[in-house]
Amino acid sequence: MKNNDGLPPLRDVINKYDLKAKKTLGQNFLTDLNLTRKIARSVENIEQSIIYEVGPGPGALTRGLLMTGANRVIAVEMDKRCISALHDISTSYDGKLEIHEGDAMKMDEISLIGDPEGRDIHIVSNLPYNVGTALLVKWMTYTPWKPWFKSLTLMFQKEVGERIIAQPNTKAYGRLSVLCQYRADTEILFEIPRQAFVPPPKVTSCIIQITPREEAPDTPNQRILEKIVATAFNQRRKMLRASLKSLISDPIPILNAAKIDETARAEELSVTDFRRLALEYQKQQHADK
């Protein structure tokens, strides 16, 4: 039996190419094309855009994207075993799918994609859980901003999704929340139950969408902000006048200049507070030079 894209059902593809899921590669495969088409429909203007997909595996999300009208999908997959299955999709879709075997962490996406010819690039991926956060940090710390991609539509464990969208004074709020929110909008679109995967993971997943904003004129340097945020959350229960000491010998003048209470803790600071704090630290760094 064939699916309505003319290709065999995902379970048959998995059997045909003997794609037994490997834990070391964070493999949990989707098999429901209705679900992957739902993910694809959340990508703006998919027909006119270029899609960059990390970890297509046997191709459930890739096929969902192509069935929804994507005309150019560039996919990076580390597992050799999946490449033949992906070639079947590429053939069936007249080469609209370009396959690259390799590690997405090391990929220089801009040279891989080449000239986008004025088209938007969207990153869409069911990320492997073992490198998912590292890839997100790679994309969110891109310089210069706005970055080369228009949006990120990503699948994460629900707990990671909640960290990305978290607000101050919650347990989930931390480095990832500030890093993602200070120059992008973040939203959880919907949840995906464990049973949607082969094999089912231990936890529920979610689809999250991240849309970069224009950089505001008073945006601190990315590296400076990252340093401040990492230092502050490293000891999240300590007051900032103490937790920032490993970075700034006397944090009090900078906290005062940023109008932040020196007894506040990292988890109480809004993204705007962190931005002001990083700007004051940046000013001090320039003054010391």
- Helix-strand-coil percent breakdown of the chain, rounded to 5? 45, 20, 40
Residues in 111-140 at the binding interface with ligand SAM, rule: CB under 6 A: 126, 128, 131
78 binds ligand SAM (CB under 6 A): yes
Give the residue closest to ligand SAM by C-beta.
55
The amino acid present at 147, given as its one-letter code, is P
The distance of closest approach from Cβ of residue 151 to ligand SAM in the complex, given in angstroms and rounded to an integer, is 18
What distance in Å separates the CA atoms of residue 27 and residue 80, rounded to the nearest whole number?
Answer: 13
60 binds ligand SAM (CB under 6 A): yes
Q: Could you say which of 33, 79, 209, 233 contacts ligand SAM (CB under 6 A)?
A: 79
The distance of closest approach from Cβ of residue 31 to ligand SAM in the complex, given in angstroms and rounded to an integer, is 7
> Which residue carries 């956060």 as its tokens?
133
Helix (H) or strand (E) holding 92: helix 83-92
Q: Which two tokens stand for residue 13?
A: 């593809």
Residues in 230-289 at the binding interface with ligand SAM, rule: CB under 6 A: none
Q: Which part of the chain contacts ligand SAM (CB under 6 A), choosing from 57-65, 87-95, 233-241, 266-274?
A: 57-65
Q: Which part of the chain contacts ligand SAM (CB under 6 A), choosing from 49-57, 161-169, 226-234, 277-285?
A: 49-57
What distance in Å separates the CA atoms of residue 41 and residue 130, rounded to the nearest whole number?
Answer: 26
Of 214, 217, 218, 196, residue with least CA distance to 205 = 196
Q: Could you say which of 67, 70, 77, 178 contacts ligand SAM (CB under 6 A)?
A: 77
What distance in Å separates the CA atoms of residue 122 and residue 37, rounded to the nearest whole number?
Answer: 15
Of 21, 34, 83, 32, residue with least CA distance to 56 = 83
The distance of closest approach from Cβ of residue 48 to ligand SAM in the complex, given in angstroms and rounded to an integer, is 23
Binding site for ligand SAM (CB under 6 A): 25-30, 54-57, 60-61, 76-79, 82, 103-105, 126, 128, 131
